[in-house]
């Protein structure tokens, strides 16, 4: 990346000298995504360090895995069009919060809120928005906890604040979400209303199953503590 790309740093935010229209094939656009990737990798590194300590302290894999991805160029543009956002760099930076995404997968629903509290206390991450799809799942059945965080990234001696989306899910939620996405978007035919309703029902069934497993786990945990 050149010392000074077309994307400039202004008041610790990504900004533009002009509200220029996006060109997804340009070096400028690629440089922008590199900045988001740096932020994403930085967040993943921080979370992986915490993962190792948490799993060691609590004696089980409270954090099963941490995945990350940069939203594809076409996905970003399609999302902007769907939301009616003008296709400029400034609008992209201001309005699209999930260009860089990190996913944390945990065994139990209770673990989601424990990990959320830990993230809220990480000095290099500032939570600016939260979306609770655990107690307020989407109509489709999707369930997870979303955090939009800001993290400082140093580029060529200058610091810029970048937004990264963190999703926290249980193993069951992650399985459902992956399958639901494949069913809806990888088929050449649109999903039927009946199958869509089935997916919602299955999400609720998984939630009930998780609740029963957690109840059994807590009972076993209490019995273990009584034996000490």
Among residues 68, 165, 60, 161, which one has the least CA distance to residue 114?
60
**What's the CATH number where 28 sits?**
3.30.460.10
The total of other beta-carbon atoms located within 10 Å of residue 108's CB is: 17
How do strand 7-10 and strand 13-16 relate by DSSP bridges?
A: antiparallel
Domain count, the chain: 1
pLDDT score for 1: 35
Q: For the chain, what percent of residues have pLDDT higher than 70?
A: 86
For residues 80 and 188, which has the higher predicted lDDT (pLDDT)?
A: 80
Q: What's the pLDDT band for 225 if we cut at 50, 70, 90?
A: very low
Mean predicted confidence (pLDDT) in 198-218: 79
Residue 86 CA from chain centroid, whole number = 24
- 228/147 Cα distance (integer angstroms): 38
Residue 180 within a domain:
no
Residue 22 within a domain:
yes
Residue 101 within a domain:
yes
Domain that holds residue 20: 7-170
State residue 82 phi and psi, 5-degree precision.
-60, -35
pLDDT score for 89: 87
pLDDT in tens, 64-73: 899 999 999 9
Residue 201 within a domain:
no
Residue 223 within a domain:
no
- 13/2 Cα distance (integer angstroms): 18
Q: Contact, 132 vs 148, CB < 8 A?
A: no
Residue 109 within a domain:
yes
pLDDT score for 227: 57
pTM: 0.82
Residue 75 within a domain:
yes
Q: What's the pLDDT band for 157 if we cut at 50, 70, 90?
A: confident
Q: Contact, 165 vs 98, CB < 8 A?
A: yes
Please give the sequence-ordered ranges of beta strands (E in DSSP) within 71-216, or none if there are none: 100-106, 126-132, 145-155, 158-170
Residue 216 CA from chain centroid, whole number = 29
User: Does 226 score more than 90 pLDDT?
Assistant: no
Residue 83 within a domain:
yes
- 118/47 Cα distance (integer angstroms): 10
């Amino acid at each position: 990346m050149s010392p000074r790309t077309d994307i400039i740093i202004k008041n610790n935010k990504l900004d533009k000298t002009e509200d220029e229209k996006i060109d997804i094939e340009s070096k400028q656009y690629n440089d922008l995504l590199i900045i988001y990737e740096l932020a994403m990798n930085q967040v993943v590194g921080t979370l992986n360090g915490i993962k190792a300590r948490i799993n060691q302290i609590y004696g089980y894999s409270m954090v099963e895995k941490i995945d990350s991805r940069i939203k594809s160029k076409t996905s970003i543009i399609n999302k902007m069009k769907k939301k009616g956002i003008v296709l400029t760099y400034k609008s992209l930076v201001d309005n699209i919060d999930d260009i860089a995404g990190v996913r944390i997968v945990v065994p139990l629903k209770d673990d989601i809120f424990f990990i959320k509290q830990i993230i809220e206390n990480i000095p290099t991450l500032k939570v600016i928005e939260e979306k609770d799809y655990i107690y307020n799942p989407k109509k489709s059945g999707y369930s997870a906890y979303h955090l939009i965080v800001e993290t400082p990234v140093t580029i060529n001696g200058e610091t810029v604040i970048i937004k990264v989306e963190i999703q926290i899910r249980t193993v069951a939620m992650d399985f459902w979400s992956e399958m639901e996405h494949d069913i809806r978007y990888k088929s050449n035919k649109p999903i039927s209303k009946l199958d869509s309703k089935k997916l919602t029902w299955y999400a609720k069934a998984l939630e009930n199953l998780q609740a029963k497993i957690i109840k059994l786990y807590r009972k076993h945990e209490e019995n273990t503590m009584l034996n000490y």
